[in-house]
Amino acid sequence: MRNKILDEACLKIFNKVFDYQDWQIAELLIENFNVRKLGEDLAKQLIFQAINHIFYPDQDTTTRVVGRAEALASELFNNISNEPHMADLEWLEYKTIKPDH
């Protein structure tokens, strides 16, 4: 099943979708991250996807992509630390989706 957030982000940044694995698309999008093209809401959803929902093939790729996404998150979200980690973004996504909990 296609990841709709990744596809939507690809259309905004590259004007096309790619027939790659999700981790490859996430890596490409994080490397070319552009809030102006994505819009703030989609940019945040992309960060959540890249950090919380994509499985990467090895530790080096995980460290590189998730580390970059965490750095981008620190600029995008006002309510997290300057050096957020995966757990911070998991919590923030949960609070965003279920604000009453």
Question: Is the confidence at residue 99, as pLDDT, over 50?
Answer: no
Give the tens place of pLDDT for each residue, 36-68. Answer: 999 999 999 999 899 988 999 999 999 999 999
Residue 79 confidence (pLDDT): 64
Q: SS3 of 18, please?
A: coil
CA distance 29 to 78: 22
CA–CA separation, 42 vs 46, rounded Å?
A: 6
Coil, strand or helix at 85: coil
Q: Are 38 and 13 in contact (CB under 8 A)?
A: yes
What is the percent of the chain with per-residue pLDDT over 70, rounded to a whole number?
Answer: 76
In the chain, where the domains are located: 4-97
| Helix spans in the chain (H) | 4-14, 22-31, 35-38, 40-48, 59-76, 86-97
**pLDDT tens sequence across 70-89:** 888 878 776 665 666 666 66
The mean of the pLDDT values for the chain is 86
Output the pTM of the full model: 0.83
Provide the 3-class DSSP secondary structure of residue 12: helix
Q: What is the pLDDT of residue 100?
A: 44
For residue 95, is pLDDT > 70? no
